[in-house]
Amino acid sequence: MTTYSFFQWNFYLSVLCVLFKYLSGKMFTFPQQTSTAHVRLSTTRVDFRAVTVCLRSFTDLSRAYGLFSLATPSAANDFLLFKTATANQIYVYARNADALFDGQEYTLNAWLSVCATWDSASGLGQVWLNGKPSSRKFTKSGSNIKGRTIITLGQEQDSYGGGFDAKQSFVGMISDVHMWDYVLSPCEISRYTDNINFTPGNVLNWRALDFQITGRVLLEEKQNICY
């Protein structure tokens, strides 16, 4: 049996700490419009009866762009958050079916907390912007998201793992990405929005994220406004 000294154990525990917290206080910066630059997020999960995705974004874009794109071999838009060029409108796609959410104040040049939920049993989706809920709307019901997922930030997938369009690319900053395999309660979403003792994602966890950067995307310290 292998034995470790006190200092070796301390080093080992320190490495574990880094692995599970290395994106805390960080952000991905997408500094230009391209058809290539993106971040791919990895998970081993291949079957979802429900989904909640939360993230924080900062941009000055007034055109359309994708915020979060999950594709499987059977559906390029298996779960997609897509901001339209129309002010205060965002689409949620689930299983290639969409619902349009309107009327929430999508402010430019400000950090926004965006959460979206979907449940396969009811087919209902919902968007929460800075902790405020939208109406619940029907997308598609009766089938789970199944298959090996490809998840991208910065680009919207029009095909499995590709089909990127520069005119739909994200330019700005994204941070605090979490994904759960269930619909979060309003209280949990409120805690995420306020960044107070919320349950990290059990599919994607910003504090232990497996990711790959392609192109000009920077991993930087998150910029917070000081008062």
Alpha carbon distance, N-terminus to C-terminus of the chain: 55
Whether pTM > 0.85 for this model: the answer is yes
The pLDDT of residue 22 = 73
pLDDT at 21: 41
Q: Which residues of the chain have pLDDT under 70?
A: 1-21, 227
71-92 pLDDT, tens per residue? 999 999 999 999 999 999 999 9
CA distances for 78 relative to 100, 137, 151, 179, angstroms: 16, 16, 10, 14
Neighbours of 59 (CB within 10 A): 19
Query: Which whole-number Å values give the CA distances from 111 to 45, 88, 184, in the listed order?
Result: 29, 15, 21
User: Which pair of structure tokens corresponds to residue 153?
Assistant: 């930030």
Torsion of CA 185, 74, 81, 62, to 10 degrees: 180
**What is the Cα–Cα distance from 123 to 130, expressed in whole angstroms?**
23
Select from 70, 77, 68, 91 the least CA-distant residue to 170.
68
Strands 97-102 and 124-129 turn out to be unpaired
Tokens of 70: 């999950």
Per-domain boundaries in the chain:
38-214
The CATH T-level fold of domain 38-214 is Jelly Rolls (2.60.120)
pLDDT value, residue 19: 36
pLDDT score for 153? 98
